[in-house]
Structures are given as C-alpha cells and as structure tokens.
Amino acid sequence: MIGTLGFLDFNAIDGIDIVLVGIIIYQLYKLTRGTVAIKIFFGILAIYFLWKLVSAFQMEMLGEILGQFIGVGVIALMIVFQQELRQFLLFIGNREFLSNKPSFLQKWFSNKDQQVDNKFADSIIRACERMADSKTGALIVVSRSSDPSPFIRSSRKIDAVLTAVLLESIFFKNSPLHDGAVLIQNDRIQSAGGVLPASESDDLLKGVGMRHRAALGMAEQTDAVVVLVSEETGKISYAMAGKLNMRCTTTELRNVLNGGVE
C-alpha cells in the first residue's frame, strides 16, 4: 500500500524503517546521555539531517560537501564513540536484553558463566557485611560472560580460592593491596590492587567518591558486576550494565550475583 505525503511516496516499509531508526537513535541517546559525547551526538544528527534536507532540494554543491563529510566521518565516529559503541554492543548481547525474547533466542545467547556459585556468593556477601560494619572500603569486580581483566590496570596476580576472610584481609586498611579492586573470576580471586576506568557520567550524585565512579566506569565498559563498600558511610552498592545501584540489600546483591536481573 503506497500513499503520497506531499512530494514523497510513503508506504508501510518506510514506516517500519522510521520506527527502527528511531529505536536505534533512542538507545544511542540513552548510552551517551549525561556524558560529553551527547553534544557530539546531537551535532552529528544535525549535520546528517541537514545533508538529507539539502539532498531533497537538490542543492548539489552543498550536498556533495556534506556527503563527503558524512562518508569520511564514519571512521572518525568509530574512534570518538569507541566506548559508547562497546556499551551498545554489550547491551545487545547482554542477557537482560534477551530476557523477554523468544525462548530459542535465550537458549542461543544465554551464558552459564553469568552467575556465581552460591557458596562463593555467600563469601562475598559475608565479607561485604563485615566490611560495611567496620566502614572498610572495598571494590570487587565479579566477572560474568566476558573477561574484564584488560580494563584493569596495575593489578597484582593472586589466583587464590575465594573466601570471606581473604577478601577482608585484602581490604584491611594496612594491607598493601587495600586501595584497589579485586577481580573474581571462575569463583577465584584472580588479582587485587587493580585500577579501574573511572566513569565520565554527569548523572552521578554530588558527593559520590572515586570508588563509586570507578565501579560505574567498569560496569559501562564490561558486563561484570562491581560490588563496593563505602568507606565513608559503610553502605553496600553495586554497578551493573552501566547503572549504579546505591545502598542495596544483601537479598538484592545475592540475586544479582546468582544471575538474577535487578
């Protein structure tokens, strides 16, 4: 079925095309919202729509200039939006994205490594509860389906069995590795004292320290669950899928570590 909208031919396929483009633009907006990249995002959209408008009015010279800019700009965009593109691809491949999809898709894309064994989840929770009581700062990266280690700098390899006592000893204030992040992978403590990439989001609340910003930065770039204990308040929080969840309960934390969706 084809209709006429002014001087344009419009059919059902065009409508579907517009809706899909709108969804993609909205998801990109959500990823860049609150960051410096949002200004670049709107600038590129403005140039693109101007190029389409110029092409519709057959202004060949200006259209050629803008077309060359758009063509060459694709490579530049991949560099400028490297972090945002990674988040978008992680969002598509994430288990939460497929949680409401048909069962055959969930079967293809699901990953059994996305949860922590109950015994080791209990160890993490017990350690966090004790450190929260003593207001001992902690930052724990729990690996899921992808390896987060390339994003962790200056870490010291440990490769030890995960226990609550070992976690507490690492983050004890006189420990040489206390001021950094612990990486838990395959139910083992792989490394400690790591430096995480800090988030550049402007949406973080005022007064949120570097530990929270580092946790969110790691959750923005990987699919890991990052558990943290505030040294100032003693509250337990976690970051996952690019979001920071402040002051969670142990029940919420257990659900997340066991592969649940929050």
Note down pLDDT in tens along the chain; length 262 residues.
445 555 556 678 878 888 888 888 787 777 666 566 667 767 777 888 888 888 888 888 888 888 777 777 667 667 766 766 666 666 565 544 444 444 444 444 444 445 567 888 999 999 999 999 999 999 999 998 878 888 899 899 999 999 999 999 999 988 999 889 999 998 899 999 999 988 877 667 666 788 999 999 898 888 899 999 999 999 999 999 888 998 888 889 999 988 755 4
Looking at residue 34, its pLDDT comes to 59
Residue 203 amino acid letter = D
Centre a 10 Å sphere on the Cβ of residue 68 and count the other Cβ atoms it contains: 10
Query: Which of 37, 34, 142 lies closest to 85 in space, CA to CA?
Result: 37
Looking at residue 26, its pLDDT comes to 80
Query: SS3 for 161?
Result: strand
Pair 117, 26 in one domain? no
Q: Which residues, at least 6 apart from 232, have a Cβ–Cβ distance to it below 8 Å?
A: 135, 209
Does a structural domain hold residue 106?
no
Distance (Å, whole) CA 183 – CA 224:
10
Does a structural domain hold residue 103?
no
Does a structural domain hold residue 98?
no
Pair 128, 203 in one domain? yes
How many domains, the chain? Answer: 2
Query: Which of 24, 4, 23, 2 lies closest to 13 in space, CA to CA?
Result: 2
- Burial (Cβ within 10 Å: 0-12, 13-18, ≥19) of residue 82: exposed
Pair 17, 122 in one domain? no
Pair 30, 130 in one domain? no
> What are the distances in angstroms from CA 189 to CA 170, 174, 234, 259?
11, 19, 23, 19
CB distance 162 to 142 below 8 Å: no
Query: Which of 211, 138, 151, 122 lies closest to 177 in space, CA to CA?
Result: 138
Looking at residue 194, its pLDDT comes to 94
Q: Which residues, at least 6 apart from 87, have a Cβ–Cβ distance to it below 8 Å?
A: 31, 220, 221, 242
Instruction: Quote the domain boundaries for residue 17.
Output: 2-93
Looking at residue 161, its pLDDT comes to 93
Pair 125, 246 in one domain? yes
Pair 128, 245 in one domain? yes
Looking at residue 14, its pLDDT comes to 79
Residue 23 amino acid letter = I
Looking at residue 113, its pLDDT comes to 45
Distance (Å, whole) CA 208 – CA 239:
13
Distance (Å, whole) CA 94 – CA 92:
6
Looking at residue 89, its pLDDT comes to 67
Pair 86, 155 in one domain? no
CB distance 222 to 183 below 8 Å: no
Distance (Å, whole) CA 69 – CA 77:
11
β-bridge partners, 237: 228
